[in-house]
Chain A
Amino acid sequence: MFIINCPFCGERDQSEFSAGGEAHIIRPKQPTELSDDEWADFLFMRKNIKGVQFERWNHAHGCRKWFNVIRDTSNDKIHAVYKMGEKPPTK
């Protein structure tokens, strides 16, 4: 239970958003070249970090836009919010 600062709509309750999991998992450029291990890594394996994690969120009950969030999963504190395609802030 926390507040997310949507880059398009501003601060809203977390229940308005849906979580899209780990961010910056790069979609394979040549899927046909991938080995089974690489597919497993892309599809299923997750860092599942206890601590600061980069993740994707969607403002499902608002503007319906996707964006990135840096959140500490050990206390649900949000460190930064940035748009899709942007580089994560360094600090």
Chain B
Amino acid sequence: MKNNYSIFSLIKNSLSYHEDWQQAWRDPEPKKEYDAVIVGGGGHGLATAFYLAKKHNMKNIAVVEKGWIGGGNTGRNTTIIRSNYLWDASAGLYDHALKIWENLSQELNYNVMFSQRGVMNLAHNLQDVRDLKRRTHANRLNGIDAVWLSTNEVKKFCPIINTSPDIRYPVLGGTLQRRAGTARHDAVAWGYARGADAMGVDIIQNCEVKGIKRNGDHVEGLETTKGFIKTKKIGVVAAGHSSVIANMAGIKLPLESKPLQALVSEPVKPIIDTVVMSNAVHAYVSQSDKGELVIGAGTDAYVSYTQKGSHDIVEGTLKAILELYPIFSRMKMLRQWGGIVDICPDASPIISKTNIKGLYFNCGWGTGGFKATPGSGDLFAHTIANDEPHALNAAFNLNRFVSGDLVDEHGAAAVAH
């Protein structure tokens, strides 16, 4: 039984100099057989396991992770959370996640530091203005909060933005979702891991999947670096490495894996209390609680599994940042990193069954998966437990690439993917 985190546990543990805190999750060896195995111990995978145990009473399950939990894209993103997507299917999916975020710290008994500081998207040309206004209307029809801001209102909301009309890409206005914001990425992985572990889920780290055993049209288990694990249901949540796992099962996915970069600056005093994103110049920035500017750059245009990314991508992003925020011109960048993102042709995710019975994929989140973590886990757990998608993820099936019923969020989703 896990002890609850509270002010009382904090006081109690301070008496023993914080040396006797209970282990947050176990480090078990894999059992011979599970009812379901989740491949990938990032936020989405751990959330899937958590909701399988909590809502679907599947407790004899495991999460296998080749590295350490939250060590992939969960720990390599800019932590932006929003739901202002254009299409109905996306709005349903991302707002479902946002609603779970709003109560997630309580649900997990773990502070994920969810901060609804608002996300502002800037328009830099007349087409941007039309697109963003259209999206604002679409959002409001779907019950998602969104407002259009004039250039003066943008300046008032975030005074450090250069709204001068004579910059290369002048700010012609913007949209604001006030319920949007950021969260602490590591805490999301740790909170879900602790919660899932408390319900009996085995989280097995340093355990790489080497093969998927199939018997005709259904799965029988997984070959891993810690031996064979028998199971009838495999949920793959492997982000950039989804295609690698798919190849093991003998299927192809409509994905391309590319490096996506982010960088943080040296820590400074509070200067920007919201998240500002710009599609046209591809720059987005927020400030962490430590004071670092968190800056998102673009993806490299070629397939690569190297967690690096090209210098010219960073250069382009920083040029745009400097034009929009001249005040940052003397800041030093502290760290830069790349994560491998799996991009779908329509920039929408796949949460789906496959042609192989018992094999499920949750992938294709591309550059924007973090925001969906709780909703993705919840809906994927539903899909695995019932062998049928939930109404909210029915549109995000793998078959849409055959039927042509795509959910095209390219450009429509408020940032370039």
Residues in chain A within 8 A of chain B (CB atoms): 1, 14-15, 18-19, 21, 36-37, 39-41, 43-50, 53, 55, 73-76
Contacts and interface: CB of A to CB of B under 8 A. Distances in A.
Q: How would you classify the secondary structure of chain A's contact residues: helix, strand, loop or mixed?
A: mixed
A39 B400 CA distance: 12
A19 B247 contact: no
Given A36-B402, A47-B243, A50-B305, 13 more contacts: A19-B303, A43-B401, A44-B345, A44-B401, A46-B243, A46-B252, A48-B256, A50-B243, A55-B303, A73-B303, A73-B305, A73-B306, A76-B304
What are the 3 A-B residue pairs with the smallest beta carbon separation, nearest first? A19-B302, A48-B243, A44-B254
Nearest to A19: B302
B301 interface: yes
A47 B302 CA distance: 14
Given A1-B308, A18-B301, A47 B402 contact: no
Interface of B: 241, 243-244, 247, 252-257, 301-306, 308-312, 342, 345, 401-404
B39 to A, nearest CB: 15
Contacts of B253: 45-46, 48
A40 B400 CA distance: 9
Contacts of A76: 304, 306
A43 B244 CA distance: 20
10 contacts: A1-B311, A1-B312, A14-B302, A14-B310, A36-B403, A46-B256, A49-B247, A50-B244, A74-B305, A75-B306
Contacts of B247: 47, 49
A40 B342 CA distance: 18
Contacts of B403: 36
A47 B252 contact: yes
A12 to B, nearest CB: 13
Contacts of B241: 50
A73 B243 contact: no
A23 to B, nearest CB: 12
Chain A CB within 10 Å, residue with most, of B303, B306, B401: B303
Interface centre among B244, B254, B308 (most CB of A within 10 A): B254
Of the listed residues B301, B304, B401, the one surrounded by the most CB atoms of chain A closer than 10 A to its CB is: B304
